[in-house]
C-alpha cells in the first residue's frame, strides 16, 4: 500500500468518524438542551454553524478519499456485480442521505435560532437528526464490514 493510499484511508476514517460523531452529539447532546430551553439561541447557533462546516468539509473529504479508494480497489463491474461493491455503493448513498438530513436540519435550526427561538426549532428538527443518527450508525456498520475484509455478505451469515 502506498503512502497516498494510507493517507486516503486515514482521512476517510477520521472525517467519517468526526462527521458521524458530530451528528450524534447534536442529536443527543445539543437538541435536548435546546428543547428544554436551558441554552440561549446564540451559542446554539454557533454550534449548528460548526456542524454545518464539519458536515460540508467531511462530505468533500469523503468524496475525494472514497473516490480514490474506489478507483484503486474497484472496477465498475466489481462495484455493480459483487457484494463488497454493493456495500460501497450503499455507503455512498447513505453519505448523500446523511448530508441531506444534516443540511436540512441544521438550516432549520439556524433559521430558528436566528429568530431567537430555541425550543420550537429543536422540536421541529428532532426527526431529521434522529434519522441522521440512524444513518450515521448504519454508515459505521457498513464501513466496519468493509474494513473487516469480509469477501462477501454471505460470509457474515
Q: Which of 114, 101, 133, 154 is nearest to 30 (CA)?
A: 133
The per-residue pLDDT for 49 is 93
Q: Which of 30, 13, 21 is nearest to 132 (CA)?
A: 21
Separation between Cα atoms, residue 77 and residue 27, nearest integer Å: 38
The per-residue pLDDT for 157 is 44
Instruction: Give pTM, 2 decimals.
Output: 0.87
Per-residue pLDDT of the chain (157 residues; tens, 9 = 90+): 789 988 998 999 999 999 999 999 999 999 999 999 888 888 999 999 999 999 999 999 999 998 898 888 878 888 888 888 888 899 999 999 999 999 999 999 999 988 988 999 999 999 999 999 999 999 999 988 888 876 554 444 4
| Residues near 150 by beta carbon (within 8 Å), at least 6 away in sequence | 84, 156
The per-residue pLDDT for 152 is 53
Residues 110 and 122 sit within 8 Å (Cβ to Cβ) = no
The per-residue pLDDT for 150 is 63
Amino acid at each position: 500500500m502506498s503512502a497516498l493510499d494510507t493517507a486516503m484511508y486515514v482521512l476517510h476514517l477520521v472525517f467519517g468518524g468526526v462527521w458521524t460523531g458530530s451528528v450524534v452529539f447534536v442529536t443527543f447532546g445539543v437538541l435536548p438542551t435546546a428543547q428544554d430551553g436551558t441554552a440561549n439561541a446564540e451559542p446554539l447557533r454557533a454550534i449548528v454553524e460548526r456542524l454545518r462546516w464539519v458536515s460540508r468539509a467531511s462530505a468533500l473529504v469523503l468524496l475525494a478519499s472514497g473516490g480514490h479508494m474506489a478507483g484503486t480497489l474497484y472496477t465498475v463491474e466489481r462495484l455493480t456485480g459483487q457484494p463488497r461493491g454493493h456495500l460501497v455503493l450503499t455507503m455512498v448513498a447513505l453519505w448523500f442521505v446523511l448530508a441531506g438530513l444534516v443540511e436540512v436540519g441544521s438550516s432549520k435550526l439556524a433559521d430558528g435560532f436566528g429568530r431567537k427561538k430555541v425550543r420550537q426549532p429543536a422540536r421541529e428538527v428532532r426527526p431529521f437528526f434522529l434519522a441522521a443518527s440512524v444513518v450515521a450508525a448504519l454508515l459505521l456498520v457498513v464501513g466496519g464490514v468493509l474494513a473487516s475484509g469480509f469477501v462477501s455478505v454471505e460470509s457474515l451469515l
